[in-house]
Amino acid sequence: MRILIVTHYFPPEIGAPQARLSALSETWAADGDTVTVLTGMPNHPTGVKPPAYRRAIRRMERADGYRVVRTWLYTTPNEGVARRTIGHVSFMLSSVLLGARCAGPADTVVVSSPTFFSIGAAWLLARLKRARFIVEVRDLWPGVFAQLGVLTNRWLIGVLERLELAAYAAADAVVVVSEGFRANLIGRGVPADKVHTIHNGVRLDQFVPGMAASPLVRERLGARGSDCLVLYAGTHGICQGLPFIADSAARLAGEAVHLAFVGEGADKPRLRRRARELALRNVTFLPGVPAHDVPHLLAAADICLVILRDLPLFSTFIPSKMFEYLAAGRAVIGAVKGEAAQILRGAGGVVVPPEDSAALADAIRLLAADPERRLMMGRQGRGYVEQYFDRVPLAREYRKILDSPGGRR
C-alpha cells in the first residue's frame, strides 16, 4: 500500500507525535508498504530551524526506509495563540501547494491532529489522490483549549467543534490514542464502528533497564552524592500545570531529594518564576535533549514524574512519556487520573491526585527512602510495557485499520 502521512510535527523535533509517527512509518515501511511523510521544516518547540533547513522552501529526505517531504512554514516558539495559528495555517497551505505533487500517489492518507489545520490539507490531498482518508486524534481539540481557558468565545468554540465533527464525518476511519477519546467521540455522534483505539507506546529496543547511571549526567541534573534524583522530562505546557511541583519541592527542602526539569514549553517561565518566589535550591532547569540522549537521562533518575492538570477532560489523556519511563525501568509517580492512572497502577507505579503538592511530596519522600521498592517498581513497569505497549505490534494493529472496509472518498 502507498501511505501518505501528513503531520505538522516530525523528527528531528522531540515530542510524543514525532516519536509515534516515526515509529509507525518505520514499521510500515519495513513490512513492505511505500510510506511518505509530508511535514514542515523542523522548528518545534523553540521556533528555531536547524541551519540545514534555513532558507529552504522544500526538502526531500530518506529515513529508515521511507520518504520525508518537507515544506516551508512560518516558524514560531510553542507559545502565543495568534503566532502559532499562523504557523499552523502556513503548513496547511504549503503542504498542498508545495507538497502535493512531490508526495506522489497514495492509496491512503493519514493525518495526525493536532494541529487541526492539517486535517483540511490532508482531506484535500486525499480527494486529489482519490485515496482513503484516516484522521488520527491525539488531542481533543478544541475541547481541551476551552477547558484550559485558552478559548473563551462561545461562538468560536462552536464553529471549531462543528469543523471538528465535520472532519470525523469526512474520514473513512478515525484513530484515537485512548478509550476515553473514543467514548468522547462516540458520545458526540461519531459512529462507533468508525472509531478505533491504538494506544501510544514505546520502542523497547531504545531503552535498557539497569543501564548504569552516568555520574556526569546526574551532576548536570543537579544531584549531589546520594541525593534521590526526581526527573520530569518533556513538554512544559499549560496542560501539565508544572508550577505545583515547585510547591512540592518546597516541602522537600533540606532533604536528600533533588528535582530536575528537562524540556521546553509555554509554561516553563511560570515554573521558573514560582521556583524563584519559593527560593528553591533543590531544583534544576535544563533545555530539551535529542531523542538519543533520553535513555541516558532516564537512567540517571531515581524517580520519574508524569503530570497533568486537574481538569475533567484530562481523565481521557494518557501522557506518552509514561511509557518511556516504564520501559527504562524507572519508578514512576503520576499526578493523573482516569485511564492514565489505571495504566500506571497496572504497571506498578504510584498515583496521587493531580495538582496536590502535599500528596506528591509525600509520595516522593516515601520512594526516596525505599530503593528496594523503586527497583521492584522498575522491573514491574518494564514487564508491563513489554506486554501491552510495544510500538511495533501497535503499529501493525494500526495497519490493519488501513485495510479495513470503507469506500474511497
CATH number at residue 141: 3.40.50.2000
Total structural domains within the chain: 2
305 and 220 in a common domain? yes
Amino acid identity at 79: E
91 and 134 in a common domain? yes
Query: Is the pLDDT higher at 40 or at 148?
Result: 40
CA–CA separation, 238 and 224 (whole Å): 30
Residue 409 inside a domain? The answer is no
- Across the chain, what does the average pLDDT equal? 93
Residue 97 inside a domain? The answer is yes
Q: Which residues of 156-181 are buried (b: 16+ CB within 10 A; e: fewer)?
A: eeeebeeebeebbebbbbbbbbbebb
Residue 408 inside a domain? The answer is no
Whether the CA torsion 3, 7, 13, 14 is positive or negative: it is negative
**Model-level pTM?**
0.90
Instruction: State residue 407's pLDDT score.
Output: 40
Instruction: State residue 159's pLDDT score.
Output: 86
Instruction: State residue 81's pLDDT score.
Output: 74
Q: Give the pLDDT confidence of 312-355 residue by residue, as tens digits.
A: 889 999 999 999 999 999 999 999 999 999 999 999 999 999 99
24 and 106 in a common domain? yes
Query: Is the pLDDT higher at 404 or at 34?
Result: 34
Whether the CA torsion 156, 159, 161, 167 is positive or negative: it is negative
pLDDT band, very low/low/confident/very high, at 237 (cuts 50, 70, 90): confident
Residue 225 inside a domain? The answer is yes
pLDDT band, very low/low/confident/very high, at 406 (cuts 50, 70, 90): low
140-159: average pLDDT:
80
381 and 301 in a common domain? yes
Domain coverage including residue 266: 205-388
107: cell is 492509496
Query: Is the pLDDT higher at 241 or at 202?
Result: 202
263: cell is 524540556
- Residue 292, classed as helix, strand or coil, is helix
227 and 328 in a common domain? yes
Cβ atoms of 17 and 112 within 8 Å: the answer is yes
Instruction: State residue 409's pLDDT score.
Output: 43
pLDDT band, very low/low/confident/very high, at 210 (cuts 50, 70, 90): confident
157 and 57 in a common domain? yes
Tracing cell 516519536 back to the chain, one arrives at 19
User: What's the residue count for the chain?
Assistant: 409
Task: Decide if pLDDT at 408 tops 50.
Answer: no
Q: Give the pLDDT confidence of 290-312 residue by residue, as tens digits.
A: 888 999 999 999 999 999 999 98
274 and 225 in a common domain? yes
72 and 20 in a common domain? yes
Residue 118 inside a domain? The answer is yes
Residue 183 inside a domain? The answer is yes
242 and 178 in a common domain? no
20: cell is 509515534
DSSP assignment of 42-53 equals S-TTTT---GGG
Task: Please tell me the least confidently modeled range out of 41-50, 178-187, 301-310, 364-373.
Answer: 41-50
CA dist 408 to 56, 112, 405, Å?
A: 34, 19, 10
Phi and psi at residue 246, to the nearest 5°: -60, -35
Task: Decide if pLDDT at 186 tops 70.
Answer: yes
193 and 68 in a common domain? yes
227 and 128 in a common domain? no
151 secondary structure, DSSP code: -
CA–CA separation, 204 and 9 (whole Å): 22
180 and 41 in a common domain? yes
Burial of 114 (0-12, 13-18, 19+ CB in 10 A): buried
